[in-house]
Structure formats: C-alpha cells, structure tokens
Chains A and B, each alone.
Chain A
Amino acid sequence: MLEILAGPFDILTLDAVPLWQGSSADPDNYYYDDDVGLIVSASNLTSKKTWLVQLDGTATELSWNHYGSLLIDLEKNLPGVYLITNDPFNTSMWRYDKRSGTYGDKELGPGSYDYQRVRLGDRFIGAGSFGSMYRVIRQWPLDGSGGSDEFVFSDLPSNMGGKPAWSITRDPAVFAIAYPNGTIVYYNHILKQGTSERSFIGSNLGAWYSPRFNVWVKLTLNAQLEIYATTPKPHALFSPSGTTPARGRVTTYTVQLTGDAGEPCQNELIDWSLQPGDPGALGDLQSRTDSAGIAAVDYIAPVVSALGNITITAEVRF
C-alpha cells in the first residue's frame, strides 16, 4: 500500500458546501491534471457544473456540466486540450479545453468510444470493452472502428472493480492504470506490454498520478481526496542476512524493507548498530534502501582480537 501523505480532505466549495451528493463509481467523469487540479463533472454533484478540485479538496466552479469521458490525446498533444466523448452515448469525440471546461472542435464521430482512454499517434487504447475484463488492454483504429485485444495483465483477477483511471507518467512511453480495487499497473504503449511493477492505493472512485509532483491523487469511496506517495508505507523489515564472517574479512549484510503487499520500499534510511561489546565494526551506521527495498552494511571482522557472536540490528528511521 502506498504511503498516505495527506488527507482525507472533504471536497468543499469556497462556501464550504460539500460538492458531492453520494458517490459515483465511474472515474471517466473525473480527471486530475497538474495544471488545473481534479476536473469534476458528474450528475450527482451539489450543482450540476464542472468544478476544479485542488489537492486539499477546495472546489471552484469552472463551467457548465459535461458528463462525457475525458481522454488523453498524445496524437495532437495540443496544450491544455483533452478529448471528451458526448456521454451518455459516447458516439462522438470533441476537443476539451481544461482551463475553461469547454468543448472545442469535433474530432471524430459517429463511432463507438465507450472504452478508449488514450489517443496515440497510431491508435486508441483503453481497458476492456463491452462484456470483457478491464484487465485487458485493447486497441482501436483511429477512426474508432472495432478494436482488438493488445495485452492482458494475466496476473490480475478478472474482477478489478470496474473501469480504471489512466494517467500519464514521467516516462512518455508508460501509462499508469489505477483500478477501483486499488491495484495500480503500468503499461508501455510502445512495447505494447505491461510492466511487472505493481502498486496498491486502496479502493477508490479514481486515482491519478501527478507527474509534476510525483504523488498519487485518490478519490475515495466517500468522495474525499487523499494524496499518496509513490512509495509504499514501510510495513515489514526482514532480519539482516549475510554469510558467516571470517577474521579480517569484510562481510556484507542486507535487510529488505517491504510494504504490506510485499512491495519493496525504496529510499528509506536504515540505521545499523552492532551490539555493544561485540567484536569488529560496521562500515557505516546508516544506509538507504534501493529499488528492491534492500539496504546493505559492511561488517568488518577483527584481524587480531578475539572473535565471538555478533548481533547486528537494523532499524528503519520512521
């Protein structure tokens, strides 16, 4: 589970009026963008308008309501412009100006655009289709005609809780896909393959990655906002392991720090100590976990003095 940084924040207008009336389960109607905030337009809001929600839950009115689904457009990549479908039928696609919450020119249609979430230079991609599982990444021609499966996250269960939310990442080739059940996967659209990396953020109405700030923005089932780090919260620190030391030699001992789902915890400081009176010395008193959650320390065995049992202790600075 990723480590929570802030929240939960109630989503309130400037007049402290709750924005949401109950929950809604479709992340397609919302989208987080670093330039403006979380774009929210749903039928169950206090006022049927489009709102911008900041990371602390502050909501400001932007424009009239739209119920369509927002799509990332990497084909034209116009500044500040997404694509939007004309919900509820999703038979056409328009440009959408994120700063004004308004439609632009019509791009495509008529067609069927229920599941597409990204327009690339050569195709649309999205998760699932009518009757299929959302763990399936599908592709569609740019004209919106019939699609086909492109990749399957075969390790995921068939029921992921519904449609996922798509985010761009700091790697232009990779999208982050957050499912309502809290599982986050990463998909390389150049290689047309998912990566092995997994993150967990908990059940949500939508979760989006912030490339600028390297955090996750989660809309909870209670329609509150929570901000998460991209690293899991440390949960388990395994005992130091290494080979038996020998006189005058240096032996490396390692520990692994993991989250509650076994994910490695990167970039955490580990304090090392040797029990007072034990022979030898440690090379460092502190080290940092790597991408596998592993931190290492060198134990230097004595050259001349007596040997004996040693106890090395690792503690997370937390």
Chain B
Amino acid sequence: MFRQVYESEPLPYMTAAQLGTDSYAGILSYATYKLKTNPTLYAEELRTIKGICVVRDRIATSDTVIRVIAETNTIVAPGPRNYSFDGTSGKSLNDPVTNRTTIPFLDGISIVDVITDADGGAWGTTFFSYGMSWWPMNPRTQVLDRSAGTRVDASTYGKTSLNVFTIDKKHNLLLAKDTESSYIELFNFTTGKLLDILYTSGIPEQIIPEDAGRAFVYCKNNMLNLIDYVNRRILSTFKAPLPRFVSSDGYQDGSQHYAYDRFFRRLLSIQKLPNDPIDGSCTSRVKGWYPVPLPVRLTKPIPLLPPREGRNVPCLTRLIGDAGEPVGGVHVQGVMNGVTASVSPGVSDNNGYAILHTKATASGVATLTTTAEVVTV
C-alpha cells in the first residue's frame, strides 16, 4: 500500500451549452459514441482514458501540469479531451468558462492510446494504425510528430501490435509485453533484436518508466513490480494502490492508466469511475502516491522461546504491507495481561520484524497485545 500525496479535482464535464460550441459536433456523430444515459446537468460522460502524463509547464502555482488524454461520450459526438491539472494543487486548468480543452483536429480525434517513455516524452497511436505504429506526441498540444524517422513500428520487434510497452532511448531499449505471459521482453530499440526477457509478478498491463533505467510494471493481478531493466532484475513488488478496475465490457484498457511523475517522484493514476448519481458529474480524479510501503497488518506475537516463569522470552511480530512487503523503523509496544510481566518494546527492522522482550514473574496463562503507530498520511 502506498502513501497518497496527491488528488486532483474531478475531470470537468461540459454542459450542453458549453458543448454546443464544440467544433466537432456532428462530424463524427456515430450513435455508438453517443451518451448512453440521459444527460443530467452535463452533456457528456467519460468513455475512455487514453493516457496520462506529466509535463513541465510553469504556471502560477506549480512547475508541472498533469495531462489526462481521454475521450467522452457526448450527446452529439465523441469528445476528445486533453484535461490538465495543476501538478501541485490538483486544480483543473481547463478554460473556466467553456471547460474546453484544446485539441488538434485529426490527432485529437484519432489518437486512441498514449504511453510515456523513459526520457519524459509521450507517444501516441491512432485508430488508423492502432498499435502498429506510434509517433512522439506533444502532450500539451496532442500533436503527433510525423517527421521522418520518428515512427516506431511494431513490426520492427516482430509484433503485429505494440500495446503494452515503453521506450528508453538513452539505453536504446524498448520494453514490451509478449502475449498473455508474465514477463516483458527487452529489445534493442534500433534494431528490434530481442535481448532478454524479465519475468514479472503477473501479466503486464502497463509499463511505466520511473527513473534511471527503472520502470514500474503494472500487472493484471493488480501487482506492481519496480524493475531495473538495465541490470535485469526486480527491485520490489507491491500491490497497486487502487483496486484493479475493469469496465463493464470486461476490458481494463481505457479504464485506468498509471504514470510516473518524475518531478515529484510519485506514481499517478486515474480510473474511469461511475458518474455522480445525482448530477452526473465526473468522479474520476488523478491520484498520486509516494511509492513507500504502508503497513496493513501487525502480525500476532510469536514467542521464540518456551515461556517460563522468570525467563526472558523474546516475542516476534512483523509489520507488513498488503503484498507482504516489510515496513521497517516502526516502534512496536506490548502489554502483557494474565500474569505480572515486564515488556520491552521493539522496533521493526528492514524485514519488518520487531522483537519485544517479555519476562513474567509468575506462571500462568498470559496474553501479549502488541500495537504499532504509523503515520499514513
């Protein structure tokens, strides 16, 4: 479990009046893209989350802006959206009057998926070549860079489609999921040669570059591995900070995206959540966590020696997170009931173990109750 440190405002929906000025209205008015439920206060609802990334944009209150590239169902047409949030306060930065997000015509409509790379950039793919080809994308303008030589093709890596992948140009690597297998493949980015595979705790669903040759791999079993793909090893394993979200059609794609904020060194995520039942407003927010484990359980104390009257008996307890990861540096107190006894407190070590020393001055049935106090916010 991670420590949450950030939460944005909800994605701002547009009203019918605001939407009425939408330049895309009527252009792609497929019935299937239309708002499925009766509009309440708003004239749209979140359809798909395509990606999330963080860019260095100096604004009055922050040095960074969080971008959420998404698409909504509206009462008239699909609505491509590029939401932006203050990276510090979480305040929505969309136009306060129109709620509008500036989207380029073709790329704004056609981009279907966005990934971030290890160099701080973003890449997009369009429905014209979904997964087959990717281009560098300006996350502010959502314009793809179609200059010669910029395109990444799945065929270079022997694949028909690249969906779960990332790029590290500094190390000239491309990391990608294979078929529904619990590992990622490491390719030479330039030549497409398969260099190695690295097993993960589940089937990878997203590869999120972290820093300096490291990446988080989000797996379908809701586990996160922090991997060192340069040295080919797993550094840590955690449970993802949010329950795995699968949309009603059974697919997770487009329902949740993770990103790493290199500026504040935090993990970000946004999930597609049901609208507010009263006014139909969006409830999805960008949330951020420091990737430090938080304990969820202090295990029952185990005496390490047969308890005897007058014997100093160490009692073992352990502080763990929700993936069994240890939480160290926490004071653990104990109280013995049933017999007169002294109890010395312990401190959890790097493996989460804390040993309390007990000494009973009489024989009998004793109960040791342990507690640990941890700051979680």
Contacts and interface: CB of A to CB of B under 8 A. Distances in A.
B299 A102 contact: no
B257 to A, nearest CB: 22
B221 A63 contact: yes
Interface size class of B (residues with CB under 8 A): 35 or more
A97 interface: yes
Contacts of A159: none
A247 interface: no
B302 A317 contact: no
Contacts of B200: 63, 100, 102
A229 B309 contact: no
A215 interface: yes
A62 B237 contact: yes
A63 B316 contact: no
Contact of A269 (B223, B308, B320): B308
Contacts of B201: 62-64, 100-102
A15 to B, nearest CB: 10
A5 B306 contact: yes
Interface in B288-313: 296-297, 299-300, 302-306, 308-311
A98 to B, nearest CB: 10
B237 A213 contact: no
Most chain A CB neighbours (cut-off 10 Å) among B203, B239, B323: B323
A97 B221 contact: no
Given A56-B300, A58-B297, A63-B223, A229 B234 contact: no
B351 A63 contact: no
Contacts of B305: 5, 229
Interface string A194-231: 00000000000000000001110000000000010101
B199 A60 contact: no
B281 interface: no
B323 A61 contact: yes
Interface of A, helix, strand, loop or mixed by DSSP? strand
A97 B198 CA distance: 11
Contacts of A318: 308, 363
B213 interface: no
Contacts of B225: 100, 102
B221 A56 contact: no
Given A62-B201, A213-B304, A56 B351 contact: no
Contacts of B320: 54, 58, 60
Nearest to B309: A317
B199 A54 contact: no
B303 A60 contact: no
Nearest to A6: B302
A116 B300 CA distance: 35
Contact of A64 (B202, B236, B302, B321): B202
B316 A213 contact: yes
B318 interface: yes
Interface in B229-279: 233-234, 236-237, 239
Interface in B328-342: none
A101 B183 CA distance: 12
A56 B301 CA distance: 8
B306 A97 contact: no
Contacts of A52: 323-324
Contacts of A54: 297, 299, 318, 320, 324
Interface size class, chain A: 35 or more
A3 B306 contact: yes
Which of B299, B302, B303 lies at the interface centre, i.e. has the most chain A CB atoms within 10 A of its CB? B302
A102 B318 CA distance: 23
Given A34-B351, A63-B221, A64-B203, A55 B302 contact: yes
Contacts of B323: 52, 60-62
A14 B323 CA distance: 10
A123 interface: no
Given A14-B296, A35-B351, A99-B236, A60 B306 contact: no
B107 interface: no
B221 A60 contact: no
Interface in A61-95: 61-64
A215 B302 contact: yes
B303 A6 contact: yes
B234 A100 contact: yes
B304 A214 contact: yes
B363 to A, nearest CB: 8
Nearest to B237: A100
A36 B302 contact: no
A49 interface: yes
A89 to B, nearest CB: 18
Contacts of A100: 200-201, 225, 234, 236-237
B22 interface: no
Nearest to B181: A64
A63 B323 CA distance: 9
28 contacts: A3-B306, A5-B306, A6-B302, A6-B303, A9-B300, A49-B221, A52-B324, A54-B318, A54-B324, A55-B299, A55-B316, A60-B320, A61-B223, A63-B182, A64-B203, A97-B199, A99-B234, A99-B236, A100-B201, A102-B201, A103-B183, A103-B199, A213-B304, A215-B302, A229-B305, A229-B306, A269-B311, A318-B363
Interface of A: 3, 5-6, 9, 14, 34-37, 49, 52, 54-56, 58, 60-64, 97, 99-104, 213-215, 227, 229, 231, 233, 268-269, 317-318
Across the A-B interface, give the 10 residue pairs with the lowest CB-CB distance, nearest first. Answer: A63-B201, A52-B324, A60-B324, A56-B300, A102-B199, A100-B234, A103-B199, A100-B237, A56-B299, A6-B302
Given A100-B237, A318-B363, 16 more contacts: A6-B300, A9-B300, A35-B351, A36-B324, A54-B320, A61-B223, A62-B323, A97-B234, A99-B236, A100-B236, A102-B199, A102-B225, A103-B183, A215-B304, A229-B304, A231-B306
